[in-house]
Structure 1
Amino acid sequence: MNTLLAMLAAYLLGSISFAVVVSKLFRLSDPRTYGSKNPGATNVLRSGNKAAAVLTLLGDGAKGWLAVWLTVQFGTQFGLGDTAVALVTLAVFLGHLWPIFFKFVGGKGVATALGVLLGINPWLGLATLITWIVVVYAFRYSSLGALIAAIFAPFYYGLLFGPDPKLLAIFIMSALLVYRHSSNIGNLMQGKESRLGSKKK
């Protein structure tokens, strides 16, 4: 029962779309109506408002971190072990992808996934973040950085901690993140992908 409650709480937390909330607070256009139409920090940046993009990034990352960190830190006293942490990981991420508060239309999950990884272990999150930064700095494609970081995340976890339920959860999360970037993969292959910082048309 405690595991189910933790999963439900994580899903509801993940369902808060900071791209939409922050855009409303800043009186910006709904990020689901321009650019990639993805409610995420990269698309909010296309509005030209860097502060809104940063707040979106921090909010989406923080909800992933909070859900997992609370389970890791306090779950044992409620009988929540590694399996529960793995399920909470997936629940908060699925909440971001398919949020109940926004008609199940969510973002692609990059910031939330990073927050989840930081919640599991700071070194894991840092290694994944550095991978994203290096790729984005070199090519200026946020989506490419996200794809490569997603591929490396399960490898980093396995290298650091070995196989356990959390590794499977990270693998599933990474696979979903790649799936959500399927249109970006097509655009990258065709040379049509927007570079980081490009303005909305």
Structure 2
Amino acid sequence: MIDKNILVGIICLIIGYFLGSLPSGFLAGKWLLNIDLREIGSGSTGATNVLRHIGKKAAVVVFLVDVFKGMIAVLIVKSFQLDSGWEISAGLFSLAGHIWPVWLNWRGGKAVATGLGLFLGLSWPVALASLGIFLACLGLTKIVSLASICASISLPILMFLSFSKDNISYTYLLVALISMVLVIWRHRTNIQRLIKGNEPKIGESR
């Protein structure tokens, strides 16, 4: 017999993946302009590509939906009072669903908004601090990818600083490191353009 908590945990992981795989940006493109975002601009289905090719209102809606995907995946696990390992796993599954959605031949977004949702569910002070760094960097540079990379790098640092010496959650620190690596990896082409000096700013097309 499978332990009840394990069975519930596995179901939560599956729910987390399918929540993350909800293709909000792709659907916005299809519904509003009948375009496939995977074939336009950066090829991402995330809010930034929506902003560039559909508009601000659609981008805000897509961003919020993507945030809630990660947060709800974690909160579902918390509602069943499972341990933090299941919370983190469900959040990572939602990230995986966002990056590799089964509905779109495994081509999705770059996990920034969904990652924010994940950390809002796990540790909202860390998530808000990271969002603050994102907004500050965006305000200074007007480059979304650079702001996203800076915010992701700040995650494990902020997570570590949020713990007292006697209360360090190494699992939370690990998920912050994994999230950082995923975001940076998904922005590898952006990093190449940043190095070359031709990464577009907000308002510029690609």
SS at match of 1:46: helix
Whether 1:75 and 2:80 are equivalent positions in the alignment is yes
Whether 1:26 and 2:28 are equivalent positions in the alignment is no
Q: Larger radius of gyration, structure 1 or 2?
A: 2
Q: Deviations over 1:80-110 (max 9, x none)?
A: 1011111112111111010111111111111
Q: 1:48 to 1:94 in 2, by over 3 A?
A: closer
More off after superposition, 165-174 vs 85-94: 165-174
Structure of greater relative contact order (alpha carbons < 8 Å, 6+ residues apart):
1
Residue 125 of structure 2 corresponds to 123
Q: Which amino acid aligns with 1:166?
A: Y
SS at match of 2:183: helix
Residue 110 of structure 1 corresponds to 112
Residue 12 of structure 1 corresponds to 18
1:157 CA drift (Å): 1.2
Q: 1-side partners of 2:189 and 2:101: how far apart?
A: 20
1:48 CA drift (Å): 4.6
TM-score by length of 1: 0.93
1:163 CA drift (Å): 3.0
Whether 1:141 and 2:143 are equivalent positions in the alignment is yes
Trace 1:48-87 onto structure 2 (pairs within 5 A): 48-72=54-78, 74-76=79-81, 80-87=82-89
1:28 CA drift (Å): 4.3
1:124 CA drift (Å): 1.3
1:199 CA drift (Å): 3.5
Q: CA RMSD in A?
A: 1.3
Q: 2-side partners of 1:145 and 1:185: how far apart?
A: 12
Q: Deviations over 1:104-160 (max 9, x none)?
A: 111111111111111112211110100000001000110001101101111111211
Q: Percent identity between the aligned chains?
A: 33
Paired residues in the alignment total 196
Residue 47 of structure 2 corresponds to 41
TM-score by length of 2: 0.90
Q: 2-side partners of 1:127 and 1:64: how far apart?
A: 17
SS at match of 2:80: helix
Q: 2-side partners of 1:37 and 1:17: how far apart?
A: 13
Contact 1:86 1:166 in 2 (8 A): yes
Q: Could you list the runs of 5+ residues in structure 2 that have no partner in the other structure?
A: 1-6
Q: 2-side partners of 1:3 and 1:48: how far apart?
A: 38
1:184 CA drift (Å): 0.4
Q: 2-side partners of 1:54 and 1:118: how far apart?
A: 18
